[in-house]
Structure 1
């Protein structure tokens, strides 16, 4: 049990959520809770998936699989038979489509899995799915914050540009169209954005670089 807990703690820090499911589950369960473990993961319905095998005479092996997952493995359920324990799972979609998969554990020397062993495997799978959900949620929150920051900057630039156009109109007696064009040309010549140029106008009352509107109407 201590080895299982230690393995789960290591998974919490894994930066790759897919490997948490494909390889992390097997790393935790073999050999601490079972002799062999096969994990299948299908990121999208009908798409190619991946399969990992752990334990026995097989070094950890990661291979693509192209058959759709068995229907019995797509629901979150636990099946305990005489020679194996199988757990199906469905991950939360969030920003990505839901992933479906299964974990199958076996024992050598005719060992019959107990109910407690089956429940432990279910808990490990649930924990790994939760790690994936938490990582996806964190990614979604970061993306939302970035979008919010971009939107906030865009609104600020728009307000500064509009206010600067008003300053130019009042100071030089320009039409809105001419004031906007002047601000735009000033921004291009200085390699700055309209918002940055507008901020300078609001702060100093002048266009950057001493630019003045042409004489005449």
Structure 2
């Protein structure tokens, strides 16, 4: 996707016609972003598409996206369009410090107009400034109760984030949040369907090998899951792959117990 040269400061706002053309062009680009995000299979692909579009929309040099579990902010998924940006995000995760973590704490956008002189994250700044990061804009993603996330635009050259770049990043984050939520729900639904299918296949295997009824076979799977602290879907996967319940051999003398 090709983007026109982004405005710097307010110089492109002198003419109402120019402002209208810019708004119309941005709306068209965002509509394309929305379509592309909804076509992506899976959360990782959707996030990768979002950060790629962020580079075009914000006029930055590189961009990253990171999703975290809300509990303890454990990293779930991360993508980057360049090595310097990837390194800058990795330092944040390791240090638990930087604009992305401020975004997650305060749930608002963070602008870093000059990474060399910004004093908010001294340890992170000391690592990323020599690598070439000069400025950044980090924007929150709204992903529901289980995940939180941030997309970050990085400038490594002479450019700096103006008001239009911040607005573009925030609009992109809004569309990305919707696309990522849909992708996650679709992935969860597919996983649930696949797991239920595997459980059914595992039931059939136990019924055939041990002469169990459908309910007895399900009870065996459930009891094994509970007693061994293994998810039911994983137990079913092992049965399908090995054609037997783990730890049990085929034959009437080794018939597994049924019941809760």
Per the normalisation by structure 1, the TM-score is 0.42
Of Structure 1 and Structure 2, the greater helix share is in: 2
Q: Larger RCO: Structure 1 or Structure 2 (Cα < 8 Å, ≥ 6 residues apart)?
A: 2
Q: TM-score, normalised by structure 2?
A: 0.36
Task: Specify the structure having the higher radius of gyration (Cα).
Answer: 1
